[in-house]
Each structure stands twice: as structure tokens, then as C-alpha cells.
Chain A
Amino acid sequence: MKTDEQIVEAVKSGRREGQDLKVGRYGQEVFAMIARQVPSVMDAEELTQDTFLKAFAAIGHYDPQRASLGTWLCRIAYRLTLDFLKRRRQFTVSIEDTEVWQTDITDEQLEAELSTGNEERIQRLELLIDDLPSNERLLLTLHYFENRTLDECSYIMDATPRALANRLYRIRKKLYKQLKQL
């Protein structure tokens, strides 16, 4: 099995094999990440194509010291998806809800509330995730579903790890408050 470095070298030398390996290994990962943000599968496929074409063209700028090849591809995909959603006016930014912010609950309490194992609560959370703005949903999926570290998330979403930690805390608090309202 070839390493990321070998794949990158193959792509740099313009060999077809390198492109095939790269797409074969990371295609589904990139496509899945995009498909969670855009509603149409066809749009997701097209954005995946664009991501790889851009990556092939900009392979010279890839720095393996900063991130893995998969994370670098996800960063390109995130930017393209963000542009796409802005063009379609489907990109929404969450407005700071002062009521949520002022909710007096500690991180430990939140963790306990979101770790009950209650089936009804899990189903409610499934519905509430749909209503989240796309950037918040992406952060949740990257961190909780793909188990990426905050450093990786910060590289993909071009934000500091601390800012993302705060954003995650607010999202969890918002979900908790909405669970209480239902």
C-alpha cells in the first residue's frame, strides 16, 4: 500500500496512477463531508470533482507537515462547499442567542444531559441536527462523527482550536435548551 507521500509524488509527476490512488482513497471521505452540507447528491458529486481537480492543480502547495492529505483535501472541499452555499444563498450563520448564552449550565452538566442514552432524546437530537446552520452541523460531524481533533477541524474550517471549542460549547448548549423546550 502506497503512502500519502508516494501518492503526492505520483500526482506531482503527472502519473495517472497517482490521481487514481488519491481519488480512490479519499474520494468517499471528501464526498461524504460535502454531501452532509449540500442537499443535492449531484451537487455533492460535482463539488467532489472540483475538489480533486483543484487538488491536482495545487498539489505543489501541499505541506505534509501541517496536515494529512485527507485533511488537506477536506479543507479544499470545505472552502468550495462554503462558496457554493453562499452562491446559492443556502449558507446560514447562527445568530448569537443571548438566551442560550446566558443559560447557566456547566460543561459537566451539559455532558451529563447529552449522554443519557435515552432513545427518545436521541431521536429528538436527530431532528434538531437538521435545523442547525450548515457550519455548525459540519463542526459537529467533523468532531463527533468523524472523530477529528479540534486541531484538524481548525485546519479544515480555518479557525483557531479555541474558537471552535467555544463554538462547540454553544452548539451543545443550544441543543440542550431546545431539548428542554420540547
Chain B
Amino acid sequence: MPTPKDALKDDSQLRQKTMIADHFTRLSRAPDTGEKCVYTYVPGNLTELLRAFGTLPVLPEINALQSGMRGKSRDFIALAEKTGHSEDVCAYVKSDIGMQAAGNVGPTGERLPKPDLLLLSYTGCFTFLKWFELLREQYQCPTVMLHVPYQGEGAITASMRKYVVDQIKEKLIPALEQVTGRAYDEDLLKEHLARSAKAEDDLVAVLESAKHVPSPIDSWFGGVYYIGPIFTAFRGTQDAVEYYRMLRAEVEERVRLGKGPVTPDGDLERERYRVVVEGPPPWTHFRELWKMFADEGAVVVASTYTKVGGVYDFGFRHDPSRPLETLADYCMGCYTNLNLPTRVDMIARYVREYSADGFLINSVKSCKSFSAGQLMILREVEKRTGRPGGFIESDLVDPRYFSAANVKNRLESYFQMIEQKRTGVGVA
């Protein structure tokens, strides 16, 4: 069996690592090079537009989750709580606030630049609004609120689209022109959008490869790496196009060879359970939880978290022929901007289409956008699919809310339940 080190040697992973490292280096040098930096969020990020203005995106959630994975978030959160931030609220915010207080050194060990613009892409999460109010207090820089309407009725209307497009046209673009000194170049934006669509095609092919039995990928633990470039600073870049082409080829090769997904201990030898997962991972215990799954032979074949920065597998692609409208539709279509009935439909569809044995919810304390209503989702999806649902609780980056023994115990019980359903044992 390959060692974990071997498992990290896929070309696509090396490529991604280089892309991210280069990006953070550019960010750290931005005060000297004069490159402008825009802080924004993953859901509803307008990377193509930012790149068309030559700006560099900074994603505070990504910095927070990286702090969680690197074991730094505990101290950052403590620092924020010392300065009056409640223990009840989102740990991403507190990790970010604490990181700034500690010198704003990013995940690669390099200092992050101050924002030239805060772009509050207000998509699917109320906390975003408060978070950028806090950052605006600190940085005193121009801030644009892009209000993205929620799909409360389960659809995007012409009025919603116009509202977003008008804000982009009349507020955001002038702000970017002001910050960068460049004029809006729609042809350049279209080029970025065309590249986005190419990368999105390949990402969807990767995600849908999990319909194969055995699945060549894990769509949650592995999936968070696959979505990395397209959900953050690289959508619309040639780097992203090449990364996803490379990743797709690797995954197709795994299918050809009948291989299972990569795990912390190398390739999974035997797929025993196929599950769909709703919710984000606990970043502070990411590998530990991944190992718990791998030890049971459990593979996540589809996940909702890999849709927070865009839902592409139901057909949406960025469309260069209608550049601002497509950006608006993208924002409104992100997963946490969908109402609960749509989320239930989506999970039930995943369970059926990916031949899952069941679905599991990881409910994180920090993110009420995800978590509020998940117990309802659990019941509804069980009712519609007849497959068992499981429920574990943790947090995004606050390690105080991860109880390994409790989670392990629940997972083992859950997988036993699947086994019983399969064999009919215990079923009247």
C-alpha cells in the first residue's frame, strides 16, 4: 500500500500546490508590486471579473479553513474571544479576526496584504455581512455590498437577475475601475468566462466519475481538493483549465484501472459503503475523520459542500455570451443560496444517481446557513429515498467541538445500520 506521501504525488496535486503557493507569494508581494487585492467570499465569488481587472482575490474563509487544518485556529479563536467575540458565533470569523490580530500571516507563512477593496458577495450566508462590517472597521477601505437574492421560491426570476446585474454594472464595476485605474473590458471578461466553462466541464466529469462502482474518487475528503482552484482564486485562468484537464485524465485513468479513491493511507482497496454527505468538513480534524471513513471502507460519492462555490453538475456553466447575467446566475445558484426543498431534492437525487447506501450529515456549529434545517433534511431525504441517514456534529475550525470518540461511535453505528439494511437483519 502506498504511503501518504506517495498518495500526494499526483501531478494535479503538485500543480495545485504550485498554483496556490504562487498566488500567496503574489499576494505577499502585492504591496511592493502594486497589484490590487480584493477580499471576497467563495460563494458568489466573481473571480473572472476581478481577474479581468487584474486584481488578486483573497478569500477569508479559505484562510480560516487553512488555519484550521494547520492547527492554528484554536489560538486565533481564543484571541478573538478575548476581544469580545462571542463563543456562540461563526468560528471562521473569529479565526480570521484572530489571524489579523496576530499579524495577518496567511497559510503559507507569508503576510497577507491589506484589501484595496472589500467585495461583499452576499450569497447564502448572513454572517458574511457582519464579517465584512468587521473587516471594514479594521481596514477602512472601499467596500461594495453585492446583494444576491436568496432562492426562497426555488427559482431565479428576471427581477432577481436584473437586481444583481444592475449592482455589478452600477456599483461593482465602477468601484473596480476606481481601485485599479483600468476601464472595464468586457471582451477580456468573456475570455475568462470561456475558460471557466472549460474547467467546469472537466470538474463535473471528475465529480460524476463517482457514479462508477467502485468510485475512483472521494467526493468530500478528496472533493475539497478538487474544488480548490475553481472555488477560489483561479476560476477563469489558464492554470485552472490545465489543472482540471490533468485531474480529469488522472481520474479517468483510475476508472480504467478500477481503482478506488486516494485516502490518507493510500488507495482504498475495498469500497464497502457509498454515502452522500451534506455539510462542510471539520477542518481541524480533517484527516482524522477521513481515516475513520477509510477504515470502514466508506466512500463519499457525492457531497453538497463541493457545491458551495457553484453548482455545476445540474447544467450551469458560465456563459461568455451573456457575461454579467451569467455571473448573476452563478451567484444565485450557489448551494447555500438554495432553499431547503431544493437542497432536499438535490441530496435525494445524489443518493439515487450515485447508487448510495445512505447519506450522512456533518452538522457544524459555526455555519447556520448549512445547519439550521438539517434535521428536517435528514427526515425528508430518508422518506424520499428509503436509505438511512446519519448525523454527526462538529465545527469548521473550532477544535473544541470535535469529539473523536463520539463521532467514531456514531459512524460505526451508522455503517452497521447500512449493513443491517442490506442483509435484512433486524428488519421486521
Physical interaction between A and B: no
